[in-house]
Amino acid sequence: MNGTFLPLSADEARERGWDAVDFVYVSGDAYVDHPSFGMAIITRVLEAAGYRVGVIAQPDWRDPASVCVFGEPRLGFLVSAGNMDSMVNHYTVNKLPRSTDAYSPGGRAGARPNHAAAVYGNLIRRTYKHTPIILGGIEASLRRLAHYDYWSDKLKRSILMDSGADIVSYGMGERSIVQIADALAAGIAVSDITYVEGTVYRTRSLEGVEDAVILPPFEELQADKLAYARSFNVQYENSDPFTGKRLVEEYPHGVFVVQNPPAKPLSREELDAVYRLPYARTYHPVYEKDGGVPAIKEVKFSLSSNRGCFGECSFCALTFHQGRIVTSRSKESLVEEAREMCAQPDFKGYINDVGGPTANFRAPACAKQLKHGACKHKSCLFPQPCRQLEADHSDYLDVLRSLRTLPGVKKVFVRSGIRFDYVLADCEHGEEFVRELAEHHVSGQLRVAPEHVSDAVLRVMGKPENAVYERFCTMFERATKAAGKKQYVVPYLMSSHPGSTLKEAVALAEFCRDLGYMPEQVQDFYPTPSTMSTAMYYTGVDPRTMKPVYTPKSSHEKAMQRALIQYRNPKNYDLVLEALRRAGRMDLVGFGPECLIRPRKGKGSSASSGRGTSKGKGPKASQNTVRGDAISRKGRSGGKGKAASHKGPQRQGRRKQR
């Protein structure tokens, strides 16, 4: 059943019979009461625990009165920058301002400040000197200790030092927020709430802080990038809720920031209960006049199946935020939500996604994780699947089969990323999953994320070898042919990741050439806080090994690497030519079928950047499709050996952030 919205004003609170609120939730997003939004989950969890919560969405950070809508809350302020990091929300990887914001009314940009969580915290503290302030959400979670800030190109302090806040609730905060609320309601001073898992707090004394690992002090981290690399690796190794130790980071003037171990993941029953709460499942009607909130379109008819990820891609923050232990909802919970979708008047019969961080993860990697935690020095899938890995798609298949047979459902899509190495590791149900995926859950294109074709870069990324991707493509090709369909695997590719020189970038361009594919958009590596790849970008070493890692940093080199993937675009001709010259690959400039671009016809003229012979023969493709016929698997990678290619094409990842 859809619920009523929580109050946005004191008048709405009084209509509920409230003379005050217990908590005020301040968010950088517009108010969308849907479980894909962290704000909705936390406020509904608190409501279910008996607390009265008011919402202030996108306050004017230049006006202190904008956070005084409800007056002083009885227990405290909860502050989040929103579903996305505010800096990623505002700027492209080239640090150019974005023109839209999907989490704001009408998609307009500029409704929140840079570093929104810290700005809101300080705004509140100017008026309410002693009221507890608890930070949460992706922005605060990934800035809970010292972190590299790409936009200022500096190492920044813990967000607790810059925000005026008392506590950070990091990760998926359902457990910690209720414990904090109960402590405050019991009269415990916020300065004494130092025991809650999944939180970070400040203190001037380490008395009573037991079982702690002392990290290098902030001043040492500022002075020595290698010290930061070592410190970051310690943080990474202590991100497990069962084995993680307390971490202590010292700041000048006798201040310590203490990170408690992560909160334990929710059980399946607890996760089901979270999704059973009475969400309104849409944006607040106050935004109708602006055309609504665009972000709801992607999630309104999608199902969140799981959380957590044991994939451990180096460029992803999920290990630090949701953790490596996967929790999933029951089939009954998902079917119940799907039935509610079917009853909505604007439902057209299509469930847009059934997934999460990784769609085909439905359980912990092995039974050991729920007793002893994830292995500290060993990955579940990299460089090869662990022998203890329990790869099994039977539960996910059961869910998908139940959903697609519901009355009113025409099609159930799987649009979240799938781990193809996990599919191949499932000897019993892997091929069966791919067959049903091809027959029922894909429409034309299956998007997966090999990210690169160079094994050297893939090792730095923590991704499987390119040969694994090739085997999956062959499996899907076989399945889609058996289904009597023309469907293709479309690869997500990333340029300029640590480890990628121009040599590896050229190999990626050759892969696109052999595929007959030029992506309209290319994901340039974006150094966001608290990822292993960002630590590499800043320090120049891999924190896990302390070995040097080449990292493209100049905007010009990054532009060349990106242009190589889109070598067919005439606007990229000069960049591609320069990149090939620098890489010593002028053999790829010519008229042969293996050439990326043609020589200039004359001084000052531009040549076609398309592949082909002097007579214009050879494979051609549109910018957003890939040929599914007779695309050669031959070619070259870096000038030698067999290229990575396959028949057919392949957020945020969005990768998505909560």
Give the per-residue pLDDT at 27.
98
Residue that is last in its domain, among 411, 443, 475: 443
For residues 506, 509, 510, 511, the Cα torsion angle rounded to the nearest 10 degrees is 120
- Indicate whether 604 belongs to any domain: yes
Residue that is last in its domain, among 408, 443, 478: 443
DSSP helix/strand/coil, 71: coil
Distance of CA 379 to the CA centre of its chain: 19
Query: Same domain for 473 and 350?
Result: no
Query: Same domain for 499 and 613?
Result: yes
Q: Is the model's pLDDT at 414 over the cut of 60?
A: yes
Contact 259, 246 (CB under 8 A): yes
Q: How many other CB atoms sit within 10 Å of the CB of residue 133?
A: 22
Query: Same domain for 96 and 199?
Result: yes
Query: Same domain for 394 and 466?
Result: no
For residues 280, 281, 285, 287, the Cα torsion angle rounded to the nearest 10 degrees is 150
Contact 356, 421 (CB under 8 A): no
49-71 pLDDT, tens per residue?
999 999 999 999 999 999 999 99
Give the per-residue pLDDT at 383.
94
- pTM for this predicted structure: 0.90
Residue with tokens 């414990």, as numbered in its chain: 179
Encoding tokens for residue 189?
């001073």
Residue that is last in its domain, among 424, 443, 462: 443
Cis ω for the linkage preceding 498 (within 30 of 0): no
Q: Model confidence at 88, in pLDDT bands (50, 70, 90)?
A: very high
- Indicate whether 95 belongs to any domain: yes
- Indicate whether 217 belongs to any domain: no
- For the segment 95-121, the average pLDDT, to the nearest whole number, is 97
Q: Is the model's pLDDT at 655 over the cut of 90?
A: no
Exposed, middle or buried, 423 (CB in 10 Å: 0-12/13-18/19+)?
buried
DSSP state of 287: G
Residue with tokens 């959380």, as numbered in its chain: 307
Which of 575, 574, 573, 597 shows the shortest CA–CA distance to 587?
Answer: 597
Give whole-number Cα distances, 107 to 291, 590, 652, in Å: 9, 45, 18
Q: Model confidence at 601, in pLDDT bands (50, 70, 90)?
A: confident
Query: Same domain for 448 and 543?
Result: yes
Q: Model confidence at 125, in pLDDT bands (50, 70, 90)?
A: very high
**Dist. CA 37–CA 658, nearest whole Å:** 7
Query: Same domain for 588 and 485?
Result: yes
- For the segment 5-25, the average pLDDT, to the nearest whole number, is 97
76: β partners: 23
Lowest mean pLDDT among 170-174, 208-212, 331-335, 532-536: 208-212
- Three-state secondary structure string covering 222-245: HHCHHHHHHHHHHHHHCCCCCCCC
472-531 pLDDT, tens per residue?
999 999 999 999 999 999 999 999 999 999 999 999 999 999 988 888 778 999 999 999
Give the per-residue pLDDT at 520.
76
Contact 151, 94 (CB under 8 A): no
Q: What percent of the chain has pLDDT over 90?
A: 87
Give the contacts of 96 (CB within 8 A, at least 6 positions apart): none
Query: Same domain for 65 and 75?
Result: yes
- Indicate whether 269 belongs to any domain: no
Q: Is the model's pLDDT at 656 over the cut of 50?
A: no
- Indicate whether 310 belongs to any domain: yes
Contact 214, 200 (CB under 8 A): no
What strand order describes the sheet that includes 488-495? 445-451, 488-495, 523-524
Give the per-residue pLDDT at 451.
95
User: How many residues are there in the chain?
Assistant: 658
Give whole-number Cα distances, 342 to 293, 337, 619, in Å: 21, 9, 44
Residue with tokens 């031959």, as numbered in its chain: 634
Q: Is the model's pLDDT at 25 over the cut of 50?
A: yes
640-651 pLDDT, tens per residue?
333 333 333 333
DSSP state of 286: G
Query: Same domain for 468 and 437?
Result: no
Give the per-residue pLDDT at 518.
80
Q: Model confidence at 354, in pLDDT bands (50, 70, 90)?
A: very high
**Dist. CA 415–CA 358, nearest whole Å:** 10
Query: Same domain for 45 and 188?
Result: yes
Q: Is the model's pLDDT at 121 over the cut of 60?
A: yes
Average pLDDT taken over every residue of the chain? 91
Helix (H) or strand (E) holding 372: helix 369-372
The amino acid at residue 145 is L
What is the CATH number for 372?
3.30.750.210
Give the per-residue pLDDT at 608.
40
Query: Same domain for 431 and 466?
Result: no
What is the CATH number for 543?
3.30.750.200
- For the segment 20-25, the average pLDDT, to the nearest whole number, is 98
Encoding tokens for residue 344?
């909505």
The total number of structural domains that make up the chain: 3
Give the per-residue pLDDT at 602.
63
Q: Is the model's pLDDT at 621 over the cut of 70?
A: no
What strand order describes the sheet that includes 23-27? 53-57, 23-27, 76-80, 133-136, 167-169, 199-203, 255-259, 246-251, 212-214
551-594 pLDDT, tens per residue?
999 999 999 999 999 999 999 999 999 999 999 999 999 999 99
User: Residue 130 is part of which domain span?
Assistant: 10-204+249-259
DSSP helix/strand/coil, 468: helix
What is the CATH number for 58?
3.40.50.280
Give the per-residue pLDDT at 528.
97
Contact 549, 499 (CB under 8 A): yes
Cis ω for the linkage preceding 529 (within 30 of 0): no
- Indicate whether 194 belongs to any domain: yes
- Indicate whether 120 belongs to any domain: yes
- Indicate whether 424 belongs to any domain: yes
Query: Same domain for 122 and 108?
Result: yes
The amino acid at residue 51 is Y
Query: Same domain for 449 and 420?
Result: no
